[in-house]
Structure 1
């Protein structure tokens, strides 16, 4: 495993970190095995969030006896001072620790939200106080919107920024360069485009070629994924054939696809929206038609249950036309 300094934090982090979204669906014993394998492979940075249901609690249990070998990053949607104070207290309890290495503002979606966080009585005030007390070591921000990152980089307030970066989504490249020049750590979320890129090794190696990227944090929910992802940081460059192959896959995906972040959920009708798109991807892109049809037919609630209320679209950070996309899934599996 290779390591980078995470900007001004001084933390020497593994180039591949652990993304904590998927483990909310994994049992406690398996999570402990996954965390142990990560540490054994040299992975020392673990990112989770208050919004990832039981992810914090599961990781907290898995970190027992290992706290001095890991850096813990978490985040919250709290935007005011009191709300942030409450959220950090819950995170400390869930993670079974008395300090958090990196606490981040989660998925800041608009400049109004940003201004609320940074204004009088905003959530930043809380993290500043907690940083002075040593409860929070460093403060970061995450978003899917470039204007938010650009505004954040105008200040000296953040030690890290977290933004999507993959062979499909490369708009972060310039903003990461700016951050790197300011000694701000850069964290790539969704490095495998939310699972849309199946070859994790190639996908990760592609973005790790960037000299401005501190760390990539693919989601992991199995021991095999830990092995595959850790191997991507071995320093061996992609061959030209491999690079051409992964770029071709990215072009075929385009921009209108689900990253499986889950922010659209829950659906009032009970549709598992990301899974619907995953099944359609297996059918249309990966030549697994029979398998995809069998899996799709086993779901009690399918894409055609959508009532077009549109709530999901208001939550999607990528502003995807989810209702139209669900119609396409229905057509594919007719």
Structure 2
């Protein structure tokens, strides 16, 4: 496997990393086994976050025997120094380590957040202190909003940027990464599979192989998935005309408004499983209705409980009209239900 240099961090990592969110949907034993399989296959970059809950514990258990051989990254959503320090110390304990190679400010995507982090008494102040103490080796940030991400890059204070990057979201990612490269920052591409929307790993990773400075960190739920991805890197080829047609078909199907399954809209005040409902637009067209119906009957019924309180609107980093989209997905489900009676 080739390596990627993460800009001015100087870190050399394998061209594929492992994202930590899906680990939370697995049992601990299976997650630890998957992490160690990734290590055995040569993967050296592992990403998690305090917000990912048990993911940090799983990473700690899986990586502690090989800690010095891997690059470990975590994140904090806290914006002030004291709270960030508290959360970071808990992260170290969960990760079974006394330092992290990369610490990132999590989801800097709203007005005023960057300023809050960089202000006196802000989280950046803590991160610098921890870096001086050797507890943090490098400092970066993640974001879901291109304009806010570019503004963070232009401060020159961060060493890496983590941003969604796949063939559906190429243009915003390319703008962010161009700004980051001017500051010699490391480029980390999250959601290479579109948050689970894209079921063609071959298309996703052949697209990414055309951007070798970007480190993709797919979230994986079983060994077969990572083995398939690694196979695409060991037997690589560029996208051909048929691939480009298939990519365009995905774009035509999903349009510009789609749920990225980041989960930041949750929990819903009335208990609607927002990401599950939103996913029907994809699964409903890719699988026989009778196969997916049991997965959606209850979530779709919950949509009727929406009171349009707007809480999810304020939390969505992509500014999606969530209540409107929930009703659209419910209408698609009801249409399929009527057609299959």
TM bracket, shorter-chain basis: over 0.9
**DSSP 3-state at the match of 2:97:** coil
> Post-superposition shift, 1:192?
1.5
Q: Deviations over 1:24-75 (max 9, x none)?
A: 1110000011101211222111111111121111211111312122211111
How far apart are 1:181 and its partner, in Å? Answer: 4.0
Counterparts of 1:248 and 1:278, CA distance in 2? 17
> CA shift at 1:298, angstroms?
5.8
Superposition pairs of residues 86-235 of structure 1, within 5 angstroms: 86-170=86-170, 171-211=172-212, 213-234=213-234, 235=236
Aligned residues: 332
2:57 alignment partner in structure 1: 57
- Give me the whole-angstrom Cα distance separating, in 2, the residues matched to 1:302 and 1:63: 40
- Secondary structure (helix, strand or coil) at the match of 2:286 reads coil
Quick check: 1:39–1:69 contact (8 Å CA) kept in 2? no
**After alignment, is 219-228 or 94-103 more displaced?**
219-228
Aligned equivalents of 2:248, 2:69: Cα separation in 1 = 36
CA contact (8 A) 2:277 2:330 kept: no
Output one character per residue of 1:214-241: Cα deviation in whole Å (capped at 9) or x when no partner: 3011111111221122233334322231
Q: CA deviation at 1:138?
A: 0.2
| 1:256-279 alpha-carbon deviations (Å, 9 max, x no partner) | 111111111111222221111223
- 1:254 offset after TM fit, Å? 1.3
**8 Å contact kept, 1:201–1:231:** no
Q: Is the 8 A contact 2:303 2:327 kept in 1?
A: yes
Q: Is the 8 A contact 1:202 1:232 kept in 2?
A: no
Check whether the contact 1:263–1:316 (CA below 8 A) recurs between aligned residues: yes
Secondary structure at 2:308 match in 1: coil
Name the residue aligned to 2:325: 325
Gaps of at least 5 residues in structure 2 are: 335-341
Matched, 1:3 2:3: yes
Greater CA deviation, 249-258 or 76-85? 249-258
Cα distance change, pair 252–280 in 1 and its aligned pair in 2 (3 A)? closer
**Corresponding residue SS for 1:215:** strand
Give the distance between the partners of 1:298 and 1:30, measured in 2 at CA. 28
Shift of 1:135: 0.2
**CA shift in 2, pair 1:267/1:298, >3 Å:** closer
Deviations 1:248-300 (A, max 9, x none): 212321121111111111112222211112234211x3143221223222669
Q: How far apart in 2 are the matches of 1:247 and 1:308?
A: 34
The answer as to whether partners of 1:186 and 1:215 remain within 8 angstroms in 2 is yes
Q: CA deviation at 1:137?
A: 0.4
CA contact (8 A) 2:109 2:149 kept: no
Tell me which residue corresponds to 2:316: 316
Q: Does 2:292 align with 1:292?
A: yes
Measured in 1, the distance between the counterparts of 2:220 and 2:262 equals 13
In the aligned structure 2, how far is the partner of 1:305 from the partner of 1:232?
Answer: 44
Query: If each structure's helix is expressed as a fraction of its own residues, which one has the higher value?
Result: 2
Partner Cα distance (2:240, 2:40) in 1: 28
Q: 1: CA distance between counterparts of 2:228 and 2:271?
A: 33
User: In 2 relative to 1, CA 240–55 (structure 1 residues): closer, same or farther, beyond 3 Å?
Assistant: same
Show structure 1 runs of 5+ residues with no match: none
Q: Is the 8 A contact 1:304 1:330 kept in 2?
A: no
1:31 aligns with 2:31: yes
